[in-house]
């Protein structure tokens, strides 16, 4: 039995990132193009690592529920792969938006992922439409544009594999991962109108040193209080985030691209429910008063072995 090789879902955040979402056309060339695409993704990763072993370069491809059907990929499909259902709270909504293929490109050197994006786009343009492209970057010491460190609760070591990749509970898709993404836009004028102390209450951490507030001080509607979740028996539930900030100062558009890899989408969905509906209901995540989700799409990340099979 061959060794299962996952895509690079547990790589740590990098200095430069390109995120792309594509929608497939009904084209007679689609299946051939997809075969070539799977081969290209494998080639880009192998070539990037061999040519620039210290660049931490990778290309991760995710496939949406509709694309899985359209491309006639293995059945049954991954059991939690479906179109994301919006989560509507009293004030804020985690919207659902379409997407067939998602690409997560990262490297220390932006030239590498820029060339990767060109090759992927060249192959896909005859059979698909680009519906989102975001160029993210590392902001200071891994902070979001809001000024707070992002991703402090990420798992480390072996826990990254445990929380990000499917295990023995689904042998057909073992080593795969559920990928969920949201593009958030920040109202920086409203955010900057808050004092530093009030900003810290929204997040649940100190701004300068990234220290979590104690439970008796931390507001119950702070981001940390609602985004950190537990299972029915009090066990810790985590996802692997690789969020990246982006922005265009001249147009005053600033945001965060939220991206998570998880062994089960149920975990991510529970976190989103806490944030948007609240725990208890109505006690929603205060950060949503300043950050609006304008996209929301679920994908499945097959293993490299599966990509090899798909490539024919």
Give the model's pLDDT for residue 232.
Answer: 84
How many Å separate Cα 223 from the centre of its chain? 18
Distance CA 232, CA 220 (A): 19
In the block, tokens 């786009």 appear at 121
Give the model's pLDDT for residue 1.
Answer: 53
Whether the Cβ atoms of residue 65 and residue 179 lie closer than 8 Å to each other: no
Q: Compute mean pLDDT per 10 residues along the chain, 312 residues long, and list them.
A: 90 95 97 98 97 95 98 97 98 98 97 98 98 97 97 95 96 98 98 98 98 96 95 91 97 97 98 97 98 98 98 92
Give the model's pLDDT for residue 212.
Answer: 97
How many Å separate Cα 14 from the centre of its chain? 14
Reported as type and span, the H/E element at residue 164 is helix 158-164
Query: Which residue among 100, 150, 242, 285 is the active-site one?
Result: 150
Active site residue 150: yes
Give the model's pLDDT for residue 158.
Answer: 96
């Amino acid at each position: 039995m061959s060794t299962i090789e996952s895509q690079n879902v547990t790589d740590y955040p990098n200095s430069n990132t390109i995120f792309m979402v594509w929608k497939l056309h009904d084209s007679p060339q689609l299946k051939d193009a997809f075969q070539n695409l799977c081969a290209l993704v494998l080639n880009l990763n192998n070539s990037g690592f061999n040519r620039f072993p210290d660049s931490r370069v990778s290309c991760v491809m995710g496939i949406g529920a509709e694309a899985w059907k359209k491309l006639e990929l293995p059945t049954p499909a991954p059991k939690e792969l479906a179109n994301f259902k919006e989560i509507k709270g009293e004030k804020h909504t985690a919207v659902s938006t379409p997407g067939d293929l998602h690409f997560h490109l990262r490297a220390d050197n932006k030239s590498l992922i820029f060339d990767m994006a060109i090759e992927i786009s060249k192959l896909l343009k005859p059979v698909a439409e680009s519906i989102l492209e975001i160029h993210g970057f590392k902001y200071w010491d891994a902070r979001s544009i809001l000024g707070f460190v992002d991703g402090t609760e990420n798992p480390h070591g072996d826990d990254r594999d445990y929380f990000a990749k499917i295990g023995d509970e689904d042998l057909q898709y073992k080593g795969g991962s559920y990928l969920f993404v949201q593009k958030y836009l920040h109202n920086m004028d409203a955010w900057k109108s808050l004092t530093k102390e009030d900003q810290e209450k929204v997040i649940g951490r100190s701004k300068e040193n990234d220290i979590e507030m104690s439970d008796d001080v931390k507001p119950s509607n702070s981001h940390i209080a609602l985004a950190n979740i537990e299972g029915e028996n009090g066990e810790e539930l985590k996802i692997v985030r690789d969020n990246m900030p982006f922005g265009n100062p001249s147009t005053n558009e600033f945001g965060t691209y939220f991206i998570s890899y998880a062994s089960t989408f149920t975990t991510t969905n529970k976190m989103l429910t806490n944030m948007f509906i609240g725990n208890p209901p109505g006690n929603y995540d205060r950060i949503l008063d300043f950050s609006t989700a304008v996209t929301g799409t679920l994908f499945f990340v097959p293993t490299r072995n599966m990509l090899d099979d798909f490539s024919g």
